[in-house]
A and B are shown apart, each in its own frame.
Chain A
Amino acid sequence: MIPNASPLIELAGVHKSYNLGMPNEAEVLHGVSFAIGRGEFVALIGPSGSGKSTLLNVVGLLERLTAGSYRIQGEETSGLDDAGLTLRRRAVLGFVFQFHHLLPAFSALENVTLPALMREGRVTPAQHERARAMLAAVGLENDMNKRPGELSGGMQQRVAIARALVLEPPLVLADEPTGNLDRASSDEVFVLMRRMHAELHTSFLVVTHDPRLAARCDRVIELVDGSIESDRSASAARA
């Protein structure tokens, strides 16, 4: 495990089970522990069914852990209620999903301003400018007013990245962000994420099946059958 002086997130002995107390109870994560520091770009890899998405949901505060400890910026999250989890999610995390998950009724620009609208009930001119700048940064300056249905898969994913980064959260969680794209678009999106990481110093935790992309991350965590099989730097993984 890579040591972190002041970890952004820290999981210790995290267990996650479904259907607790029922005959079909199943434990998906078995005592997972790791930490991510500020500015890290981490890949989470593993075979299908290894628990990657569940782990990402736990890290993203979308699902509660069954046992163990999960701290965000030093604060324990396991005792928080739904409102508390939502507010931490809003303040600390950005999401990029495999299927883009943009709101079809809103334009690209409106999708990017949604987090600000949600937080303050309005979008200030400065926030509007920031959203425009983010869309320009991901190469969509001419498509800001298009609805998601009018954009290609790669373009939609770029909108999703802009939305995840617009409020400059400390950590972006990306679940197979290139899984639904062709190779060219996939490379394009990954390069974009690396560029944004370099520019904004945002930490990334990227779930991917693609070993090529994992190799281009700073650190690779491999999950097998709900346990961490390895956690090493990408260069060590390549070796």
Chain B
Amino acid sequence: MLNWLGFERRVAVRFLREGRMQTVLIIVGVAAGVAVVAYISALITGLQRNTLEKTLGAQAHVTVSALDDVVLPARPPVAGSTALVQTQPRVQRPRSIANWQSLVPVLEAMPAVAAVSPMVSGAGLAQRGEASKSIALMGVDLDRYDRIVRLRSKVVQGEARLGPGEGIIGRELAEDLGVRVGDRISLVTGTITDSLRVTALVDLGVRELNRRTVIVPLRAAQSLVGLPGGATGLDLALVDVWVAQRLASDLSQRFPYKIESWQEANSQLVSALNAQSVSTALIRGVVMVVVVLGIASVLVVSVVQKQREIGILRAIGATRGQMLRVFLLQGAIVGALGSTLGVLLAVGLIKAFTTFVRGSDGLPLFAITLAPSLALTVAGIATVCGVLAAVAPARRAAALDPAQAIRM
């Protein structure tokens, strides 16, 4: 096995070493291309991961709720008569999901589902003294809800606790109402009024959410919204966020509920992420084409320059296959060396980005890492591109007529 491509390896390396400046330039060219591809891939992956974490950190991956109230279509007019129909859309009132207690274990048993949390949501007012703010009321089981949005990790003050008469509110809402942890506030929903003691302030990552969110125990919310024993929604966290759309479609076909994935709820974000991915793929494609053309052009020149040497080798017994492999190997070597250098360069660029590009708080904008799998993939593709780029020059070298070549 040690003999494998022994002749081809020796000649390929010598040819590359002989054209030193040419070789260095093309390796640097490949390295630059690989670095750009790896860096952009890592940057976009980091950016998208960060955006998703921020977006999905405060919402469920899939939500299940009761179907909307709809107006039944008017009866079709009798033949020969004309009916003038005008319908008014129904007002959507809080409604409970039928049999939600039975549905929860069914959903939890699904392999794609990581957690299920029932919720009662409604609107109301939070009051303290003369201050009154409109709020989004959420009644949850704290442990279950924590597995959906990691609520405990978002606590900025106090301790997340939802005993009877206790509640958690957004940081901005606390500022607006002038309350601290331990203070009491009143909640008003329709004709029902209740009070709660604030156990914790949370930062959900979106200022507007912080200004409106009040989280209370499930049972308290059921009374406030007027749905005893009910749940207006079920929040699902998934093992893989990207299967949300498919799972939502499957569930919609199986159950008579309104089921929405995070992609449907954030369609503009998904479009932006898709546009980013397409742009990145285009950039990667163009850079790889440039790398291939660069390697090919250098090797074509090398074949022309080395016609005499190729002729000598052919004359003294090198086969066409051996000459073909000499140049394919040169492409592979240039691709592999350029890839290695390019990956190192990308690591340096990422280090520079995380060191020098920081937000107003002095912290890195978001985490970027070059995953070993990504680095290996990019390096592998570049090496394969190197070999592909060498195909045409190698075929040309193999096809050279030795008698003609040695006359040059």
Contacts and interface: CB of A to CB of B under 8 A. Distances in A.
B13 to A, nearest CB: 9
A119 B317 contact: yes
Interface stretch (B4-12, B35-43, B227-235): B4-12
B316 interface: yes
B240 interface: no
Nearest to A163: B316
Nearest to A82: B320
Nearest to A56: B403
A99 to B, nearest CB: 8
A115 to B, nearest CB: 6
B312 interface: yes
A95 B402 CA distance: 12
B6 A121 contact: yes
A86 B3 contact: no
Interface string A69-104: 000000000000011001101100011010001111
B3 A118 contact: no
Contact of A121 (B4, B15, B318, B406): B4
B406 A83 contact: no
Main secondary structure of the interface of B (DSSP, over half): helix
Contact of A62 (B4, B14, B402): B402
A103 B10 CA distance: 12
A107 B286 CA distance: 42
A94 B315 CA distance: 9
Interface in B1-60: 2-7, 10, 14-15, 17-18
Contacts of B317: 86-87, 89-90, 115, 118-119
Most buried by B among A82, A86, A106, A115: A86
A103 B319 CA distance: 17
B315 A95 contact: yes
A62 B407 CA distance: 12
A239 interface: no
B7 A104 contact: no
Given A117-B6, A120-B3, A103 B309 contact: yes
B19 to A, nearest CB: 9
Given A57-B403, A63-B403, A106-B14, A122 B316 contact: no
A126 interface: no
A89 B402 CA distance: 12
A63 B403 CA distance: 7
8 contacts: A82-B319, A83-B321, A86-B318, A95-B315, A104-B18, A104-B309, A106-B14, A118-B318
